[in-house]
């Protein structure tokens, strides 16, 4: 009965009615300012984000669904990887092939892993052969905050953002009176050892931030040893009061065994990955009305895959330029316009035989208008056109409306958008399993949400409904596994969130996501997207120096694809629900010394994120950090 009610509530007709009613309700926001002055409602201090509109804006004025993982949350929860941080975000499902370091996919509101764009400091990160980014190798070294936009964002960021955008913002040394340094060491289960070192500061007009880490582990199952080295450097120079230059660079090396599925384990397969990036940028502010910024990015990825008795080398090299301009036309009207260029080369060699040697080039331009007819209403309209060398061009747009109701300070927002995602290099060129005639995927998205605070902002409640109608979804059905465009697919659902933070020493945050993701042509679910997901996080500081944190993830009603005998036809099969419990305790012994312990999968739950790839069992870790 409950499921039937939820399904009825999320029907297309009901959703469209709700989406249209939100703008109508927002019309009530255009009221005299005296109405606000007559109320005793507490002052609203929204979080400022940059990713939703590519400019610094209060989150409640962006007409998008935005989540932020702060540095304080990363420290309190003792998170070490980007994948761990994203598992705490409403509407996100992270699926890895077993242990950390193995292939990791990300599903945002039921869209595919390649549908969510990753940027670091606003710089678009390079794709891997199968699309998206290699989330398995990203640590949280030198990370200040993570902004996650789940609203379709192709009209600002181009393809690969049907599911939104993740922007990792790193630390820098600007404004520091004196340098800050830290070193840490952690050890624990699965022969895990992790060492980190970081330093940041400023000397006159020059600033810097550098961080390095080394991880070694021997995870359960044979041939599952893993090693990763990460170095990230950020430098900047304030040439004058209006002109700032920066340089972002990173090096990552990950090397580990590939044990494969439990039905066909391997004792010899290995995967080694190297990633290098270098990106200079410039920001120039011409007074209070105009700002222009640009960056050039170079990235180089090299993967060595030893499997099935052969060695395959894959090189992906990219060059990109992004130029953005912000013009404050009037006090309540801002225009953002820009151009983007990217050229990516793919070279793949198996043994001594080359089988992929190609380039893809993209040129795009975008324009966004952000108009606030009153202090309580924000209208955001954006359009973008992208020309591709390998397939047809894309035209995308978004229309968003956000506003606050006087007296209650209720936030209402709604979106209508057109977004798209191009075929990946693997779809187009992978030998024996490619289809050069694929069309880009196109999605029509609807979203509507409400947010309300109570008790002087100690309690915040939010609810969002969403729907993406995807045309030409790319799938690789058995037995040929050759990618084809499926007629239609739908992802739709609801997100509910509650946060209670009565003081700086205690907070509890929970969320619930209900999702249906279906292949409308074959009338079956899209795999690895759970129907229901619950997240709960608690942070408690009983005394000034002690921080306790715990988190629960409950993932329900999953499916994966299997090939059961005797016909070995591709079949959707249910996977076991699972509940994960993690906890940590950190103690600031002195101004310079911190100690901590943390536990993962504390209930020792046995489950497979992907069929045949068991997740790690319970693990315990302890660490120490020196700050000076």
d(CA 344, CA 360): 5
Q: What are the tokens at 249?
A: 């660079």
Report which secondary-structure segment, H or E, holds 21. Answer: helix 12-26
Given a cut of 80, whether residue 21 has pLDDT beyond it is no
d(CA 369, CA 286): 20
State residue 45's pLDDT score.
Answer: 59
Whole-model pTM: value is 0.92
The string of pLDDT tens digits covering residues 403-424 is 999 999 999 999 999 999 999 9
Q: What percent of the chain has pLDDT over 70?
A: 93
In which band, very low, low, confident or very high, does the pLDDT at 487 lie, cut at 50, 70 and 90? confident
Given a cut of 80, whether residue 13 has pLDDT beyond it is no
If one counts the domains in the chain, the total is 1
Q: What are the tokens at 438?
A: 């694929």
Cα-based distances in Å from 397 to 185, 246, 402? 47, 31, 17
Which one has a higher pLDDT value, 366 or 17? 366
The string of pLDDT tens digits covering residues 127-181 is 999 998 889 999 999 999 999 999 999 999 998 899 999 999 999 999 999 999 9
Mean per-residue pLDDT of the chain: 91
DSSP string computed for 603-618: T-----SBTTBPPP--
Query: Does 566 sit behind a cis peptide bond, omega within 30 degrees of 0 on the bond before it?
Result: yes
Contacts of 83 (CB under 8 A, 6+ apart): 94, 96, 100, 104, 106, 135, 136, 138
- Residue among 56, 81, 53, 54 nearest 69 (CA): 81
Report which secondary-structure segment, H or E, holds 92. Answer: strand 92-96
227 neighbors 195 (Cβ within 8 angstroms): no
Domain residue limits at 545:
2-627
480 neighbors 514 (Cβ within 8 angstroms): no
Residues paired with 120 in a beta bridge: 123, 168
Q: For residue 178, what is the domain's CATH number?
A: 2.40.170.20
253 neighbors 271 (Cβ within 8 angstroms): no
Residues paired with 447 in a beta bridge: 415, 466
Residues in the chain: 628
């Amino acid at each position: 009965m409950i499921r039937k009610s939820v399904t009825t509530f999320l029907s297309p007709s009901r959703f469209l009615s709700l989406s249209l009613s939100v703008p109508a309700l927002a019309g009530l926001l255009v009221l005299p300012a005296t109405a606000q002055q007559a109320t005793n409602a507490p002052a609203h201090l929204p979080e400022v984000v940059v990713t939703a509109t590519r400019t610094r804006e209060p989150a409640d004025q962006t007409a998008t669904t935005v989540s932020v993982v702060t540095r304080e949350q990363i420290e309190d929860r003792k998170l070490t990887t980007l994948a761990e941080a994203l598992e705490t975000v409403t509407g996100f499902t992270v699926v890895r092939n077993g242990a950390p370091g193995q292939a990791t996919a990300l599903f945002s509101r039921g869209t595919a892993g390649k549908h969510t764009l990753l940027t670091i400091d606003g710089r678009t990160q390079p794709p891997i052969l199968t699309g998206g980014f290699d989330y398995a190798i990203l640590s949280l070294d030198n990370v200040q905050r993570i902004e996650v936009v789940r609203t379709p964002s192709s009209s600002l960021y181009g393809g690969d953002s049907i599911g939104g955008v993740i922007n990792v913002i790193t630390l820098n040394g600007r404004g520091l009176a004196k340098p800050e340094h830290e070193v840490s060491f952690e050890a624990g289960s699965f022969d895990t050892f992790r060492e980190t070192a970081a330093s940041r500061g400023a000397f006159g007009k020059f600033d810097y931030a550098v961080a390095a880490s080394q991880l070694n582990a021997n995870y359960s199952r044979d041939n599952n040893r893993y090693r990763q080295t990460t170095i990230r450097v950020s430098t900047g120079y304030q040439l004058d009061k209006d002109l700032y230059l920066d340089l972002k660079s990173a090096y990552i090396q990950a090397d580990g065994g590939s044990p494969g599925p439990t039905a066909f384990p391997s004792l010899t397969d290995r995967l080694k990955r190297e990633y290098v990036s270098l990106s200079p940028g410039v920001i120039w502010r011409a007074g209070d009305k105009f700002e222009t910024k640009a960056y050039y990015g170079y990235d180089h990825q090299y993967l060595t895959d030893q499997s099935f008795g052969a060695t395959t080398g894959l090189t992906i090299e990219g060059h990109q330029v992004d130029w953005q301009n912000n013009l404050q036309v009037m006090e309540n009207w801002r225009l953002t316009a820009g151009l983007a260029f990217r050229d990516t080369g793919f070279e793949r060699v198996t043994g001594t035989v080359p089988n992929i040697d190609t380039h893809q080039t993209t040129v795009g331009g975008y324009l966004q208008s952000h108009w606030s007819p009153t202090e309580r209403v924000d209208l955001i309209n954006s359009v973008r056109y992208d020309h591709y060398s390998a397939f047809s061009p894309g035209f995308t747009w978004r229309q968003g409306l956000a506003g606050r109701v006087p007296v209650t300070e209720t936030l209402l927002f709604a979106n209508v958008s057109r977004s798209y995602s191009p075929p990946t290099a693997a779809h187009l060129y992978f030998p024996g399993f490619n289809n050069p005639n694929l069309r880009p995927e196109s999605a029509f998205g609807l979203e509507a949400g409400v947010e309300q605070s109570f008790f002087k902002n100690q309690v915040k409640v939010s609810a969002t409904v969403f729907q993406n109608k995807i045309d030409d979804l790319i799938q690789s059905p058995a037995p040929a596994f050759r990618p084809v465009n499926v007629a239609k697919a739908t992802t739709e659902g609801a997100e509910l969130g509650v946060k209670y933070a009565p003081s700086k020493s205690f907070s509890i945050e929970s969320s619930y996501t209900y999702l249906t993701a279906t292949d409308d042509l074959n009338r079956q679910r899209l795999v690895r997207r759970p129907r229901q997901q619950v997240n709960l996080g608690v942070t408690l500081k009983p005394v000034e120096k002690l921080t306790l944190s715990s988190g629960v993830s409950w993932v329900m009603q999953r499916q994966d694809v299997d090939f059961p005998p005797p016909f070995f036809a591709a079949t959707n099969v249910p996977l076991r629900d699972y509940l994960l419990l993690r906890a940590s305790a950190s103690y600031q012994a002195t101004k310079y010394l911190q100690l901590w312990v943390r536990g993962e999968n504390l209930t020792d739950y046995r489950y497979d994120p992907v069929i045949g790839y068991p997740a790690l069992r319970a693990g315990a870790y302890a660490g120490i950090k020196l700050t000076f």
